[in-house]
Structure 1
Amino acid sequence: MPDRTADVLDATLRCLLRYGARRTTMDDIAAETGVSRSAVYQYVRNKDDAVRRIAERLHEQALTAARESAVAPIPLADRVFGIVTAKAELMAGPFAASPHAAELLDEQARLCGDICRGFTDELHELLTGVLAAAELERPGDAARIVLAATIGLLSAGRPDLLRTASDAVLAGLGAPSKTFEGEQQ
């Protein structure tokens, strides 16, 4: 019997987009997967487990992009922007048009809030590391400012201003715009 976990999770995501976590049932997931309800239980413990696994998958994909940006041999401003763009792309992903996005992407969400908080914490660590390597003062505080600006702009529906905001924070810290990690100006 082939492992259909990915199929079950993909079907769960489609159901969540349509109905939200509260209204999605195991019967919905089974029908969307094309298997019996008892078959779904071979791959996930219950609906909450399926929802959390979807949230983990989406956040991990975004973290992979953020980690790649953090170590890329590109200017500091581009690395910082790449990290915050990972959060923007997560928010613009499959849930962009769904009224149920908060159930998977909000730090206050009942089922997935801890996953979202862990994601934000890791983005903070990545930003802090990148800013510390550039020898900026108070890199942890600067990372918090960049993240707060990112969250605020995304909440306001203005992801188009992310680059301006991250560049403004870096400029305010006196960061040279074209410095590569480890490179002397």
Structure 2
Amino acid sequence: MGTDRLDEVLDATYDCLTRYGVRRTTMDDIATTMGVSRSAVYQYVRSKDDAFRRLAGRLHEQALARAGRAAADGEAPYAVRVRGVLAAKLDLVLALHEDSPHTAELLDEKARLFGGICSAFTADLRGLLVALFAGLFAEAGTAEGIEPGEAADLCIALVAGLETAADAHSLLSLGSDALVAGLLGAPVTASG
């Protein structure tokens, strides 16, 4: 079974999600959006729940890959790398909130369908941040002897707080730079 067709199913699932939400979307809706029969959709997903889980997984995997690329960019200063990791999460949240009130369901860590995906994403993001801060602190030390895990938790809390802010992207830059500077006890330069 082709990945392209699965992507089409997931794209149609997302389209239905934006219009109807998880509960009101049916397999017939997904099939109609794709222009195929319901049985054709079943060739790629087992059920509506499976389609939504795969969709949530795909979106979180894409955001995590973006965060991973930011974290691994050894040419960029640490502050820029931290900001890139945080931006991947913030961009996912803002894009989903922007598309429809229903799409935010894909971010609910308490949701039966998506909770595990959301929790794993946050844990993986935290792991990237812990590794970044471990490297940063090994090179530069910290202002108060804070641990990399605590720094990562502060960063995740920062992003969670910005998810509803009107100017979230510019506040992310200011907030992440201030956070890194505070953790180091030294200002972050304009380039990083």
The answer, yes or no, to whether TM exceeds 0.5 is yes
Unaligned runs of 5+ in 1: 179-185
- Stretches (4+) displaced over 6 A: none
Deviation at 1:8, TM superposition (A): 1.1
| Correspondence for 1:183 | none
Q: Determine helix, strand or coil for the equivalent of 2:44.
A: coil
The match for 1:58 is: 59
Q: Structure 2 matches for 1:24-43, cutoff 5 A?
A: 24-43=25-44
Counterpart for residue 71 of structure 2: 70
Superposition pairs for residues 1-185 of structure 1, below 5 Å?
Answer: 4-72=5-73, 73-135=75-137, 136=142, 137-159=146-168, 160-174=170-184, 177=188
Alignment check: 8 A CA contact 1:17 1:95 kept: no
Alpha-carbon distance in structure 2 between the residues aligned to 1:124 and 1:145:
10
Structure 1 counterpart of 2:134, which letter? A
User: Whole-Å Cα distance in 1 between the matches of residues 166 and 44 of structure 2?
Assistant: 36
How does the TM-score come out when normalised to structure 1?
0.90
Q: Deviations over 1:80-117 (max 9, x none)?
A: 00000001111132552301122111212231011111
8 A Cα contact 1:63 1:86, kept in partner: yes
Aligned partners of 2:136 and 2:7: how far apart in 1?
40
Residues 158 and 108 of structure 1: CA distance in aligned 2, closer, same or farther (over 3 Å): farther
The CA RMSD over aligned residues, in Å, is 1.9
Change in CA separation of 1:125 and 1:89 when aligned onto 2, cut-off 3 Å: same
Distance 1:133 1:87, change over 3 A: same
Quick one: distance in 1 between partners of 2:52 and 2:125?
Answer: 22
SS at match of 1:43: coil
**Cα drift, residue 156 of structure 1:** 3.7
Query: How far apart in 2 are the matches of 1:74 and 1:163?
Result: 15
SS state at 2:159 partner = helix
Is the 1:102–1:109 Cα contact (8 Å) retained in structure 2? no
Contact kept, 8 Å, 2:96 with 2:104, in 1: the verdict is: no
What is the CA distance between 1:166 and its match in structure 2? 1.1
Tell me if structure 1 keeps the 8 A contact 2:93–2:104: no
Query: What residue ranges of structure 2 are gaps of 5+ in the alignment?
Result: none
Q: Partners of 2:130 and 2:93 in 1: how far apart?
A: 22
Question: So what's the TM-score if we normalise by structure 2?
Answer: 0.86
